[in-house]
């Protein structure tokens, strides 16, 4: 097993890690391993934005939008003729 040393960890972060470890009944070292393991083995899913929004609103009963009809594309102006 490999070891790492984390230098320059501010006191506030260390205190929060200590409290989090105590709540989980783990040592600070085991809690740090757990945080790293979780962060690196469960990457965020690469869901597109539309699906994420749809899932969020589905819990609230969904959302239906009226989509206006599209207009015919205008002919672009002729420049320099």
Domain assignment of residue 79, yes or no: no
Residue 8 confidence (pLDDT) above 70: yes
In the chain, how many domains are there? 1
Q: pLDDT tens for residues 23-71? A: 999 999 999 999 999 888 866 667 788 888 888 888 788 777 788 888 8
Judge whether 21 and 28 are in contact, CB under 8 Å: yes
Is residue 48 a part of any domain in this protein? yes
Asked if residue 6 is part of any domain, the answer here is: no
Q: Tell me, yes or no, whether 77 lies in a domain.
A: no
For residues 18 and 42, which has the higher predicted lDDT (pLDDT)? 18
Domain that holds residue 17: 11-58
Question: pTM higher than 0.85, yes or no?
Answer: no
Per the CB < 8 A criterion, the answer to whether 17 and 31 are in contact is yes
């Amino acid at each position: 097993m490999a070891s790492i040393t984390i230098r320059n960890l501010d006191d506030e972060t260390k205190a929060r890690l200590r409290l989090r470890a105590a709540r989980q009944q783990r040592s600070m070292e085991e809690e740090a391993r757990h945080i790293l393991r979780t962060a690196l083995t469960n990457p965020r899913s690469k869901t597109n934005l539309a699906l994420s929004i749809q899932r969020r609103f589905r819990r609230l009963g969904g959302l239906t939008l009226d989509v206006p009809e599209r207009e015919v594309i205008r002919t672009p102006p002729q420049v320099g003729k």
